[in-house]
Structure 1
Amino acid sequence: MLYDIRHVTRFDYARAVGFARNNLRLKPILWSGQEMLDYSLTVEPHGRIQPARAEAGLANVMRLVVEAPARTLTITSTARVRVNRPIPFPRPDDPTIAEIAALARTSRDASPASPASYIFPSPLIPVDADIAAWCAGDLDPARGILDAAYALACRIQREFDFDTGATMVDTPPHEAFRKRGGVCQDFAQIMISGLRAAGLPAAYVSGYLRTLPPPGQPRLVGADATHAWVLVWAGAELGWVGVDPTNGIWMAEDHIVVAIGRDYSDIAPVDGVVLGSGAQQMHVSVDVEPLETGA
């Protein structure tokens, strides 16, 4: 499947700011099952843009510096991405949860995608006994890793309400878990917390969903903005496998990976600092258009 993606972020400032410095993580990464064919990034008003090193996680980071006074800042990211990612199918001979946990603990992989980097609690996803106990119902150590991960994602989708008013971007997983409601970020963090409590490597994914579903299929929740879901490491042969607890589905051709980290703090699409006074508002629009043909 070929997609054209347009992601616009606009900041409106109550008073002109004299300086802005932002980290942008908007360019999709090279990841299994997808390739980027074209990309552009524009900023209004004009600013200096240069590549920067990802301090954590897997992301294409650009550093934006705007030094002229501005009342608005508009960042437009456009990409053409081809996705060819089959749906995983659990098998009787898949590694068990206990086997994956043991392999992860002894991994000597030092790359950014090392399973050892995603076993431990992270700044926004701490250890939580209540979440661990609830998730343990699907995470029997003898159960196959893919079967268990999919079952847990589907359970979250069934038992939690998608409610944009229930949480905010800084709501901790325990609060969303207590409310049994939230948005894609909350559901991903709850699932990751439970998987890590079972000793499994689990990563937070930021990306996109196709905006319009295929004929006869329901529209996926989270298609109007950046989306979040989960990667679970399933051993050397299967590698990292994606699952979407907001929709109760596997990561497949409807998902485009932008960045991967321990939690949202590693891979926020836009963060940084501005010098000025007064309030600011952020407006985000995302459109992911599937193309019938293309190259």
Structure 2
Amino acid sequence: MRYQVTHLTRYGYADPVSLCHSIAHLKPRETPYQRCLIANLRINPWPSVVREHRDFFGNRVSYFSVQQSHLQLEINATAEVEVWAPPLPEPASTLPWEKARAQLQSPRAVESASARMFALPSPAVPLDPLAADYARASFMPGRPLLEAALDLVSRIHRDFDYDPTSTTVATPIAEVLAQRRGVCQDFAHLAIAALRGLGLAARYVSGYLETLPPPDQPKLRGADASHAWLAIYCPEAQESGGWVDLDPTNDCSISDQYITTAIGRDYQDVTPVRGVFYGGGEHSLAVSVDVDRIALG
């Protein structure tokens, strides 16, 4: 599947901003099942400095500095991406989760060395005993790893309400567990905390999900949004580098409707746009996203 993605971010300021420094994770990354054909970033006002680098996780990071006075900052990211559906290992045929954990932690398992960091706590996903307790209902002794992970994802989907007014980017996992509601970021963080609490490796994935309008209805422009899910390290998923992406918001493994922008330990590693600015006073933020399927042939 091929897509055109447009992600427009606008900051408005009550008072002039004299200088801003920002970094953005807005250019899709390459994966075994995704190819980024074109990726551009247009910034208004025109920045004095623009650079791009790969971070520790292999994400494309754009840095820019606007060094002129401005009352509005506009960041327009466009990309053309080709995506294939990753194959899913047979869940019941994956290793028992305890054996997968032992293999992950073994110093002799060279192939899993890079995954071990994702079994450790991170700033937005500290180890939470309640999250680990929540996971144990799915991870019964001897249960195949992927079968248990899919069950965990299904339980989060059933037990938690999607409510965009209930949390912010800073809401802790303990609060999400207590109020049983949140958004895709919260559900991904909860699943990651639950898996790490059992000694398993899980990472945060940010990107986009193609949304389709109801039959005979036009697609609303700008109504799509950034999305978040998680990936669990599963030794049998060799074609995907050992990772299987799961989406608790929609109770599924990912398909060719998912576009990956960045991976990290949690949201803080892959924030779409963040930075510092001087001046400005009160400010507003508006974001619009369009994910459009490109007809081939």
TM-score over 0.5 (shorter chain): yes
Residue in 2 aligned with 1:261? 264
CA separation of 1:161 and 1:92: change in aligned 2, threshold 3 A: closer
> Do structure 1's residue 120 and structure 2's residue 120 form an aligned pair?
yes
Q: Distance in 2 between matches of 1:28 and 1:113?
A: 25
Q: How does 1:84-95 map to 2 (within 5 A)?
A: 84-95=84-95
Aligned position for 1:230: 230
Report percent identity of matched pairs: 38
SS at match of 2:134: helix
Query: Aligned ranges for residues 132-143 of structure 1 at < 5 Å?
Result: 132-143=132-143
Contact kept in structure 2, 1:44 and 1:73, CA below 8 Å:
yes
Coordinate RMSD, CA, aligned:
2.2
Q: Deviation at 1:142?
A: 1.3
Match of 2:184 in 1: 184
State the partner residue of 1:51.
52
In structure 1, distance between residues paired with 2:292 and 2:84: 16
Deviations 1:151-178, CA, capped at 9 Å, x for gaps: 1111111110000111011101110111
CA deviation after TM superposition for structure 1 residue 107, in Å: 5.1
Report the equivalent of 2:164: 164
Partner residue, 1:22: 22
Question: Structure 1 residues 79, 101: closer, same or farther in 2, change over 3 A?
Answer: same
Residue 208 (structure 2) aligns with: 208
Alignment of 1:272-287 (within 5 A): 272-287=275-290
Instruction: Say whether residues 1:288 and 2:291 are aligned partners.
Output: yes
Q: TM-score, normalised by structure 2?
A: 0.91
Residues 214 and 92 of structure 1: is their aligned pair in 2 closer, same or farther, counting only changes over 3 Å? farther
Shift of 1:224: 2.2
Contact 1:58 1:113 in 2 (8 A): no
C-alpha spacing 1:39/1:177, structure 2 compared with 1 (3 Å): same
CA contact (8 A) 1:207 1:255 kept: yes
2:89 and 2:236 in contact (8 A); partners too: no
Deviates more, 1:113-122 or 1:193-202: 113-122
Shift of 1:279: 1.3
Q: Which consecutive aligned stretches of 4+ in structure 1 deviate over 3 angstroms post-superposition?
A: 107-113, 213-216
Distance in 2 of aligned mates of 1:127 and 1:145: 20
Counterpart code for 1:50: R
Aligned to 2:12: 12
**How many Å apart are 1:106 and its aligned residue?**
2.2
CA deviations 1:48-81 (Å, max 9, x no partner) are: 2111342x43410011100000100000111111
Residue matched to 2:41: 41
Q: How many residues align?
A: 288
Q: Letter of the 2:287 partner, please give it.
A: V
Kindly indicate whether the alpha-carbon contact (under 8 Å) linking 1:57 and 1:262 is maintained by their aligned counterparts in 2: no
Residue pairs, 1:99-118, within 5 angstroms: 99-106=99-106, 114-118=114-118
- How far is the alpha carbon of 1:38 from its aligned partner? 1.2
- Any idea what the Cα deviations from partners look like across 1:189-216, whole Å, max 9, x if unmatched? 0000000011110000000000326969
In structure 2, the partner of 1:271 is 274
Q: Which amino acid aligns with 2:4?
A: D
- 1:46 to 1:107, Cα distance in 2 relative to 1, 3 A: farther
CA–CA separation in structure 1 for the residues paired with 2:41 and 2:259: 17
Residue identity matched to 1:145: L
TM-score normalised by L of structure 1 = 0.91
